[in-house]
């Protein structure tokens, strides 16, 4: 991967990759919380057909 990205030292590519994965996990957590909050609000407001089942 380092060669493909043009890094002279493979450790740079590994550090960047690790950093991106950490940020991606954080973004996924924020997105999941937003979806859960919206779903809870929809059920609470009677907007979800699944709540009636």
Q: Which residue has the tokens 């699944």?
A: 50
CA distance 14 to 2: 8
**Cα-flanking dihedrals φ and ψ of residue 6, to 5°?**
85, 15
Report pTM.
Answer: 0.45
pLDDT in tens, 16-30: 888 888 888 888 899
**∠ Cα 41 43 46 (to 5°):** 110
pLDDT in tens, 1-53: 556 667 677 788 788 888 888 888 888 899 999 999 888 887 777 665 555 54
**Cα-flanking dihedrals φ and ψ of residue 34, to 5°?**
-65, -45
């Amino acid at each position: 991967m380092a060669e493909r990205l043009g890094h002279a030292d493979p450790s740079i590519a590994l550090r960047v990759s690790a950093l991106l994965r950490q940020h991606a996990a954080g973004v996924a957590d924020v997105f999941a919380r937003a979806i859960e909050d919206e779903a809870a609000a929809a059920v609470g407001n009677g907007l979800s057909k699944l709540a009636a089942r």
